[in-house]
Amino acid sequence: MTIAIDQNPAPIFPEDLLSDAYPGKTWNVFHVKSRREKALADFLFRRGIAYYLPLVKKRQASRNRVRYSLVPLFSGYVFVNCDETGRHAALKSNHVGRIIEVKDGATLVQELRQVHQALFAEKALYPVDFVSVGQRVRVIKGPMKDVEGIVFRKDKKFRLALAVTSIMQSISVEIDADMVEPC
């Protein structure tokens, strides 16, 4: 079900969550059941539990008009800063599938600050699978769909090596990062 943009939950609660330390509370990543990120955020907001749910505006297909929705940047995940009582309440909400405990909260906060800053830079953001140099990937869209290769350079775009093993030769091709997934 699509809801109006102004009816979405706040992406961050409280607004200073990423700038202040909250003593006695730990960071957790809640992996939610399918398509329940906003429902969990609303549940947490109503109970005063601190969370971060980065949302991006995405154009929706429509014949007659242009429509946009806010969708989670990291599908299936909500970042929560709470104590044991908050964790227990979230589990009882029936939205959480599992909880990933964060060992280094300071690193997570730094990474989330960078994500938050990127969201307000008004540049196009594309969630991509975590891919590293040397990893085998498959192109998932475009004219090279279903081609497999090995990432040998990552910067603004990926550079894939496409091999012809029988003659021990390969070529390279540059491709957008959002067009590949790990094999």
Domain edges within the chain: 5-119, 136-182
**Residue 75 DSSP SS3:** coil
How confident is the model over 63-80, as a mean pLDDT?
Answer: 89
**CA–CA separation, 52 and 10 (whole Å):** 9
- The CATH class given to the 5-119 domain equals alpha beta
Q: Check pLDDT > 90 for residue 12.
A: yes
Q: Check pLDDT > 80 for residue 62.
A: no
How confident is the model over 36-63, as a mean pLDDT?
Answer: 92
Task: Kindly provide the b/e burial profile for residues 25-60, where b requires at least 16 CB atoms within 10 angstroms of the residue's own CB.
Answer: bbbbbbebeeebbbbbbbbbbeeebbbbbbbbeeee
Take residue 50 and report the two structure tokens written for it. Answer: 């601190």
The dihedral through the CA atoms of 5, 177, 117, 79 has a sign that is positive
Task: Kindly provide the b/e burial profile for residues 87-103, where b requires at least 16 CB atoms within 10 angstroms of the residue's own CB.
Answer: beebeebebbeeeeebe
Take residue 3 and report the two structure tokens written for it. Answer: 């809801």
Q: Check pLDDT > 70 for residue 53.
A: yes
- pTM for this predicted structure: 0.75
Residue 127's pLDDT band, with cuts at 50, 70 and 90, is low
Mean pLDDT of the chain: 86
Could you tell me how many residues make up the chain?
Answer: 183
